[in-house]
């Protein structure tokens, strides 16, 4: 009773030592395995605590105690009471912060190449940097970043001293780059942009707005055999000699690429004056899954460019075409029928458009934001179509569409219950008594005339405007029933006198 077959009692079993009774080799193996498991657990705990201890510093420099723990440094703005951050202070911080992964320096325009070189040398795991507005940074600093940092995103907007070699180095060296912003670079030419399309094959976001030297030569071209618009010459026509190139950029051959940019989703080419319809055709053929396309201010574009954009189909989500003055109803109608998933459309300052364009845009089932600034030919019929079909519209800009009436706007705000922002600046009918008091305050730097024309209704102000117009409509009907002359008032009362 109480003994096992080997003569060991149950009480003694609790004190049984495997390391004593097992052979030496097996006991050592068990001991080593247990120790290894314990070490792995402690290491994972230490790693977890290390990551939990890392910090994000916003709009200030880290303190000495935070140097070893800061991972994200974001300096987008510095409040006026605080002194501006100097380049020397940044240099000191970067020499002591080895774990930095993302850095935003748009609030420190005094940043120099010296500081960027120190950052690249010490933050060996730097994944993203924003140098927008740092005009003292040159190719030297960008070369160092490209050589030593595994960058995934970089923003260089307004770094006016940058030239093609540094941008080419980024494209060829940073193989993991997914976001690249190069807006407002006056020295950027087609050479480096061609390298971006050739080598940066993981890009999801590319912004090249307001780069004055860019032309069609910078972008992928459609091979001659695939061109959708062959040129037909009449009989007896003598084709003129090609013009002599004026610069070395004109001598560049068309950029024919054998791969497609399937990852590219956001492309901003705003205010590139040299962009033509041929470039849009080549871009769409090279990047067939673009979701967000900005072409504001590309004044040479015509309906042919819109026909090329139609090939994006259901992929296209946001399209900005403000100041593209040559487009007409024909192109917009085709676009609305081909790209049925559009949520945001801006055709402001496109003076050739009429109600027909709005009729088709209103039928888009997912339309949420629409800008129609200074489309002078619009009438109340366009507003009625929006009120009838665009029931999910959230933001609408009708500024300076001076043919619209307040009755049409009343139907609009009454039917569109999800409308969160209505901009009606410069519409004469909104000068009716009592309407302006529901508007947001005009900017302080506006003169008296601008403030009087300013009408922006958002949030609860849209609801208040709706209630006011409902009461005014009820008063008008009561006046008609009682054969009393109706006069507009600025209050919310329902009494007639």
Interatomic CA distance for residues 149 and 471, integer angstroms: 64
What pLDDT score was predicted for residue 352?
96
- Say if CB 103 and CB 73 are below 8 A apart: yes
Q: Check: CB of residue 200 under 8 Å from CB of residue 180.
A: yes
Token pair of 420, please? 């969160």
Domains and CATH numbers, the chain: 354-497 (3.80.10)
Residue 230, class by beta-carbon neighbours within 10 Å (0-12 exposed, 13-18 middle, 19+ buried)? exposed
* Digit-coded pLDDT (tens) for 305-327: 999 999 999 999 999 999 999 99
Q: Give the pLDDT confidence of 139-164 residue by residue, as tens digits.
A: 999 999 999 888 999 999 999 999 99
Give the predicted TM-score (pTM) of the model. 0.83
Look at the chain and count its residues.
Answer: 497
Q: What is the pLDDT of residue 231?
A: 55
What's the rounded Cα separation, in Å, for the pair 276 and 249?
A: 16
Name the residue among 221, 208, 218, 206 with its Cα closest to residue 162.
208
**Degrees, nearest 5: CA angle 340-346-350:** 115
pLDDT of 332-354, one tens digit each?
999 999 999 999 999 999 999 99
Predicted pLDDT of residue 12: 44
Q: Following CA atoms 243, 246, 323, 197 in sequence, which dihedral angle do they give, to the nearest 10 degrees?
A: 100
How many whole angstroms from its chain centre is CA 370? 17
Looking at residue 81, its pLDDT comes to 72
Beta strand spans in 248-380 (E): 266-268, 292-294, 318-320, 344-346, 369-371
Per-residue pLDDT of the chain (497 residues; tens, 9 = 90+): 444 444 444 444 444 444 444 455 555 555 566 666 666 655 554 444 444 457 899 999 999 999 999 999 999 987 777 788 999 999 999 999 999 999 999 999 999 999 999 999 999 899 999 999 999 999 999 999 999 888 999 999 999 999 999 999 999 999 999 999 999 999 999 999 999 999 999 999 999 999 999 999 999 999 876 555 555 556 666 667 666 667 767 788 999 999 999 999 999 999 999 999 999 999 999 999 999 999 999 999 999 999 999 999 999 999 999 999 999 999 999 999 999 999 999 999 999 999 999 999 999 999 999 999 999 999 999 999 999 999 999 999 999 999 999 999 999 999 999 999 999 999 999 998 889 999 999 999 999 999 999 999 999 999 999 998 988 888 778 777 877 776 666 666 555 44
Angle at 442 between CA 439 and CA 448, to 5 degrees: 115
């Amino acid at each position: 009773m109480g003994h096992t077959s080997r003569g060991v009692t149950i009480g003694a079993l609790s004190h049984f030592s495997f390391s004593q009774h097992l052979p030496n080799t097996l006991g050592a193996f068990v001991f080593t395995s247990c120790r290894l498991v314990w070490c792995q657990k402690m290491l994972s705990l230490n790693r977890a605590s290390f990551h939990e201890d890392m910090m994000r510093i916003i709009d200030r420099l880290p303190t000495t105690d935070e140097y070893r723990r800061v991972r994200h440094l974001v300096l987008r703005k510095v409040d006026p009471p605080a002194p501006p951050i100097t380049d020397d202070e940044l240099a000191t911080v970067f020499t002591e912060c080895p774990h930095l992964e993302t850095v935003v320096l748009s609030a420190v325009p005094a940043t120099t190449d010296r500081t960027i070189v120190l950052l690249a040398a010490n933050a060996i795991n730097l994944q993203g940097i924003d140098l927008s507005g740092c005009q003292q940074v040159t190719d030297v600093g960008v070369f160092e970043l490209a050589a030593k940092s595994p960058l995934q995103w970089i923003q260089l907007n307004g770094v006016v001293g940058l030239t093609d070699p540094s941008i080419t180095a980024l494209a060829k060296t940073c193989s993991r780059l997914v976001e690249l912003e190069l807006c407002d670079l006056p020295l950027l030419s087609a050479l480096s942009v061609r390298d971006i399309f050739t080598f940066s094959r993981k890009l999801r976001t590319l912004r090249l707005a307001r780069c004055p030297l860019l032309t069609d030569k910078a972008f992928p071209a459609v091979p001659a055999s695939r061109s959708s618009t062959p040129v037909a010459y009449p009989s007896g026509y003598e084709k003129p000699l090609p013009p002599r190139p004026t610069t070395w950029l004109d001598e560049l051959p068309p950029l024919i690429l054998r791969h497609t940019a399937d990852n590219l989703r956001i492309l901003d080419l705003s205010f590139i004056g040299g962009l033509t319809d041929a470039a849009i055709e080549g871009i769409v053929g090279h990047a067939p899954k673009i979701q967000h396309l900005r072409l504001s201010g590309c004044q040479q574009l015509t309906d042919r460019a819109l026909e090329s954009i139609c090939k994006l189909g259901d992929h296209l989500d946001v399209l900005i075409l403000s100041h593209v003055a040559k487009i007409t109803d024909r192109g917009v109608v085709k676009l609305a029928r081909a790209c049925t998933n559009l949520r945001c459309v801006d055709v402001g300052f496109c003076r050739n458009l009429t109600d027909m364009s709005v009729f088709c845009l209103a039928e888009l089932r997912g339309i949420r934001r629409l800008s129609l600034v200074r489309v002078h030919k619009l009438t109340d019929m366009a507003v009625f179509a929006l009120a009838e079909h665009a029931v999910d519209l959230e933001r609408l800009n009708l500024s300076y569409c001076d043919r619209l009436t307040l009755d049409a706007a009343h139907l609009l705000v009454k039917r569109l219950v999800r409308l969160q922002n209505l901009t009606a600046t410069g519409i004469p009918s909104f000068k009716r008594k009592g309407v302006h008091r529901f508007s947001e305050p005009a900017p302080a730097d506006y003169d008296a005339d601008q403030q009087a024309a300013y009408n922006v209704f958002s949030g609860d102000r849209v609801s208040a405007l709706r209630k006011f117009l409902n009461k005014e409509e009820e008063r008008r009907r009561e006046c008609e029933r009682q054969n009393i002359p109706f006069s507009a008032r600025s209050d919310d009362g329902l009494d007639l006198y």
